Amino acid sequence: MTMTLRWTTASDNDFIQLTHELDAYLQICNGDKQSDYAPHNVMDPHTEAIVMYDGDLPVACGAFRLYENQTAEIKRMFVKPSHRRSGLAKSILVSLEERAKTLGCKRLVLETSPSFSSAVALYRSIGFREIAPFDPYQTLCSLCMEKWIL
């Protein structure tokens, strides 16, 4: 498999396609509760994003948005089921972290479901730790994490 990482924005058609697949997956996992999370997943079209390709096929994505006080929030992480467990999510996270550093960020935060054990294990393996839910996730069933990237 020839994997290529491409920086783009949240208005990129391949990124949008992958996030639609992510939303469909989250709808299956979360059912009716997904509508509580959906408003927090809207991305500014100019947000920096990554799309990972297997040849010409977009297979994974991720993005971050500047949150507050030199903090970037990791958003829209998704790997197609056919390409999971191959290191793509880790590669995307490492690239997002490096880009956030170049923009002066000192901390990354993210929100995920505590039931996504593989994702939580990945985040922990690269230095994220659990924190109290941050705005706007305080009232949702969320696991929030942070990583300092000084």
Q: What is the CATH number of the domain that holds 88?
A: 3.40.630.30
In the chain, the number of structural domains is 1
Percent of the chain with pLDDT over 70: 88
Residue 81: is its pLDDT beyond 90? yes
Over residues 6-55, the pLDDT tens digits come to 999 999 999 999 999 988 877 776 666 755 555 556 667 778 999 999 99
User: What mean pLDDT is predicted for residues 55-71?
Assistant: 92
Tell me how far apart the alpha carbons of residues 27 and 119 are, in angstroms, rounded to a whole number. Answer: 17
For 53, other C-beta atoms within 10 Å of its C-beta total: 15
Q: Parallel, antiparallel, or unpaired: how do β-strands 3-9 and 48-54 relate?
A: antiparallel
**Domain span at 41:** 3-148
Is the pLDDT higher at 42 or at 112? 112
Tokens of 28: 């299956």
Residue 112 CA to chain centroid, in angstroms?
9
